[in-house]
Structure formats: C-alpha cells, structure tokens
C-alpha cells in the first residue's frame, strides 16, 4: 500500500506542476491551429428558426411551475447562473451560444412535459431571475447585467450545429488541462464532444482541490455500494486506472470495481481526475479540475479569449467538427 501511496502522491504532484511548464507550449498550439487574422465573418446562415420573437417555457425543477419568457430574458438568466460575469466578453458570448444551443437540443431530445427546459443545472442548465441576480451580485448587479445583456443581444441568434442539428452543448467550470471524451464519461457517441487541450485551466486558482474523508465515512459509503473491506484500511484501495486524459477510469475498492464518476458522486469530489491515499485514519483525495470535463471549459474559454480568440474560435475548438450558424429572426 505504501508504494501505491507514493504513486498517487507523485501523480497528483505531476498534475499540479507539469501543467505550468506546458501552458506556453499548448498556447502556441492553439495559435497555430487558430491563426488570428483580421476580423472576418465566417458564421453561416440557417433559415429555419425564429429567435427574436420566440418564447421559452422554463420549468422550475423544485416547484414544477412553468414560466414563459422571451428568449433574450432566458439567455440572460442562464448566463447569469452559469458563468463568472467578470470573464472576457468573448467567453461570455461563447456561453450565450452554448446556452441557446443547449435549449434547442433539449427541445429535440429531452423536453419536460408542457415546457421546453428546466432550470436544473444537473439535468439541463441553471437560470437566475432578476431578483436572484441582484442578490447574487449586490452592488455589481448593474455592471454585470448590462455586460451579459450586451453579449446576449449580439449573439442570441447564433447556435452550434453538427450535421445541421443543434449539438448537446455541455460545458463545465475547469478541465484538468484536457477536456474529456463524452464516451468515457457517459458512453454513447458524440463526434463533437472529444478531448481537446485546454491549457489555460491549469492556471486557475481553483485548479486543484483536496477532500479528506475519514476511514469510517469511506467504509460506510463504499460498503453500502457493494465493497467488501478487510480490517486494514491501507489495503482497501487496490488499483486505479486512468483514461488518456487523466480521468479515473476504474478504481478497485475492496474487490468492487467503481467508475471514477461514481467515486466523484459518492464523495462529492469536484471532478473525476483524482489521486487518493490513506494517511492517519483518513483518505485524502487530491483533485484536478471542476466539473465533468466534457465540452467547453469556461475557464479555458476565458483564457482563450484573453489570448485574442473570438467566441467562434473558442466554440469550434471545444466542440470539434461543429460550426456556428445564424438562425434568422
């Protein structure tokens, strides 16, 4: 078990230190792939959906009440809930388009009864009312509201498509330096949700986190989920395997195989990229990133925007094989 602990320690240390060396290199890769030239309009036009006059029916996930509102009002509320309003405007525009695209995708694939979408971040995407925005931002309300409103008005008629269909434009806060393949996280095939570099995430103050779980709590949770443990806690965790991106693919605990995503949920970890070691009566998780890691990294999008990339370049990087299209009002 000692050798396992040493491996985990150096793995977590490498996750923390190596990214700082590679950020500049990865940024240069970005710039080669997305050569920044004079501003050109490459977004294509689509003829099939109204935006300016369309309304959205939003179901409150708790009360099940449904509120009907304009698309503009809806997108402002979603962006207010989902991204840091202090981020660069190009990153916020990318979030607006991802939110609109997620709405259109949900209408086609996962619509709740009598509504278009819910305000649940877990099932669909969050939403803040005007009063909730005021409570959240306080004295910054007017500044942030006007900033988001401006971004919404500029790109509210743009969505992201793959083979002419709206994509499942999922997003997360911070990747581990690479986004995840959707297949590894959820299964299924999403040609546009494949792993890409996201070097800027490694500069986030929230890139790493630590979670300490007592051996009693650890034992309770894993045994309730099928693990059979011996007496010595140092021998409970047998083996961890990782995906190519660094996410935990499988962890063997007490003869029971768990997915990394299952352990993340079980112990409320910020992501499925983690190392774990036992020390003095507790299990210590060292975690990299925040969120499921699939699709657009919001921190990575902000980093790219700061380097001069447009919202379109950001979106077409994080959602590979897709393109932005304008839907007529």
Q: How far is residue 80's CA from residue 156's CA, in Å, rounded to a whole number?
A: 15
Number of H helices, E strands in the chain: 10, 15
Q: Residue 131 burial (CB < 10 Å; 0-12/13-18/19+)?
A: exposed
**Other C-beta atoms within 10 Å of 20: how many?**
12
- Cα gap 318→98, rounded to integer Å: 11
Distance CA 301, CA 296 (A): 7
Token pair belonging to 4 = 């396992």
CA dist 165 to 93, 228, 295, 328, Å?
Answer: 20, 47, 17, 15
The pLDDT value given to residue 31:
56
> Beta strands 44-46 and 282-288: pairing type?
unpaired
pLDDT at residue 172, as a whole number: 97
The residues with which 107 forms a beta bridge, in sequence order, are none
Helix ranges restricted to H, 49-208: 71-82, 89-109, 130-137, 141-155, 182-186
Q: How far apart are CA 114 and CA 14, in angstroms?
A: 49
Predicted confidence at residue 328, as pLDDT, reads 64
Length of the chain: 329
Predicted pLDDT at 28: 54
Q: Where are the domains of the chain?
A: 2-27+208-288, 38-171+301-327
4 half-sphere exposure, CB direction, 13 A CA radius: 18
In this prediction, residue 188 carries a pLDDT of 86
Give dist(CA 182, CA 60) in Å, integer: 27
10-residue averages of pLDDT along the chain (329 residues): 42 45 48 45 53 83 95 98 98 98 93 92 94 98 98 97 96 97 92 96 97 98 96 95 95 96 97 97 98 98 98 98 85
Compute, in degrees rounded to 10, the torsion defined by CA atoms 293, 297, 150, 161: -70
The answer to whether 173 and 297 have CB atoms below 8 angstroms apart is: yes
CA distance 317 to 92: 15
């Amino acid at each position: 078990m000692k050798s396992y602990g040493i491996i985990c320690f150096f793995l977590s240390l490498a996750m923390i230190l190596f990214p700082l060396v590679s950020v500049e290199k990865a940024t240069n890769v970005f710039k080669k792939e997305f050569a920044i030239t004079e501003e050109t309009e490459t977004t294509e036009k689509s003829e099939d959906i109204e935006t300016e006059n369309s309304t959205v029916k939003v179901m409150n996930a708790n009360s099940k009440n449904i509120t009907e509102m304009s698309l503009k009002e809806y997108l402002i509320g979603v962006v207010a809930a989902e991204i840091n309003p202090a981020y660069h405007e190009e990153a916020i525009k990318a979030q607006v388009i991802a939110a609109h695209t997620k709405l259109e995708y949900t209408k086609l694939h996962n619509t709740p009864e009598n509504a278009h979408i819910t305000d649940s971040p877990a099932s669909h995407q969050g939403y803040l009312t005007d009063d909730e925005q005021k409570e959240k931002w306080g004295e910054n309300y007017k500044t942030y509201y006007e900033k988001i409103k401006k971004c919404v008005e500029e790109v509210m008629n743009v969505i992201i498509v793959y083979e002419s269909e709206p994509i499942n434009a999922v997003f997360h806060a911070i990747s581990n330096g690479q986004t995840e393949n959707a297949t590894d996280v959820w299964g299924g095939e999403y040609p546009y949700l494949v792993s890409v570099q996201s070097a800027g995430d490694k500069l986030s103050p929230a890139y790493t986190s630590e979670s300490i779980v007592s051996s009693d709590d650890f034992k309770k949770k894993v045994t309730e989920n099928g693990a059979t443990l011996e007496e010595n806690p140092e021998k409970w965790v047998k083996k961890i395997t990782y995906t190519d991106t660094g996410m935990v693919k499988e962890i063997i605990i007490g003869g029971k195989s768990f997915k990394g995503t299952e352990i993340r949920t079980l112990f409320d970890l910020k992501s499925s990229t983690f190392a774990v070691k036992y020390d003095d009566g507790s299990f210590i998780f060292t975690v990299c990133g925040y969120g499921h890691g699939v699709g657009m990294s919001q921190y990575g999008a902000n980093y790219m925007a700061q380097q001069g990339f447009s919202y379109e370049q950001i979106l077409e990087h994080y959602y590979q094989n897709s393109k932005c299209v304008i839907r007529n009002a």
